[in-house]
Amino acid sequence: MSKTTITEIIESEIDTVLAEDIDFTGELKFSKSLMIKGKFDGKINADGHLFIGPNAHVKAEIKTGKLTCYGKIDGPVFAKERVELSKESILNGDVTTPDIIIESGCKFNGRCIMDEKQHSSTTNQPQNPPSSQPKKQ
C-alpha cells in the first residue's frame, strides 16, 4: 500500500536548510534533501527531496526528485517521483510528475501532466502529426 499523506517536515532529518532570513538568487543543485524557508529566485535542478517551508516564496523553474510544498511557488515544477502540496500551499505553474498529492485548501493554478515521459519526449512535437503520404486516386 502506498503512502498517501504529505511528508512531515522534520528539520533534523533534512541535509541543508536555507533559513527564513535568506533571500537567494541563482541556481541550486543538490542530490540529497534541501529545505527553503526564505525567498529564492532562479532555477532549481536537483535529484533530492525539496521542501518549501510555510513562509517560503520560491520563484523558479524546479526540477527535482520529490517536492513537498507548504509555502508559495511561482513557476513550473518537474518532479521525477512525486509532488506534495499541503493545504497552506500556493503553486502558480504547471506540474509534471507521475504522482501528486493535493490537500484540500491548496491553491494550484496551472496544468498537471501525470506522465513524466510525456514532457521530455513530446516537447515541440505535434500529438498527431499530419500524414506525409500522398492520397491515392
Per-residue three-class SS string for 76-103 = CEEEEEEEEECCCCEEECCEECCCEEEC
pTM, to two decimals: 0.78
Residue 75 and residue 57 in contact, taking contact as beta carbons nearer than 8 Å: no
**What does the alpha-carbon distance between residue 24 and residue 55 come to, in Å, rounded to a whole number?**
15
Q: How many residues does the chain have?
A: 137
Per-residue pLDDT, 120: 47
In a structure prediction context, what are the per-residue pLDDT tens digits for the chain, which is 137 residues long? 455 788 877 777 888 878 898 899 999 999 999 999 999 999 999 999 999 999 999 999 999 999 999 999 999 999 999 999 999 999 999 999 999 999 999 999 999 999 756 444 334 444 444 444 444 54
Per-residue pLDDT, 18: 87
**What does the alpha-carbon distance between residue 74 and residue 79 come to, in Å, rounded to a whole number?**
15
User: Which of 56, 51, 87, 54 has its CA nearest to residue 66?
Assistant: 51
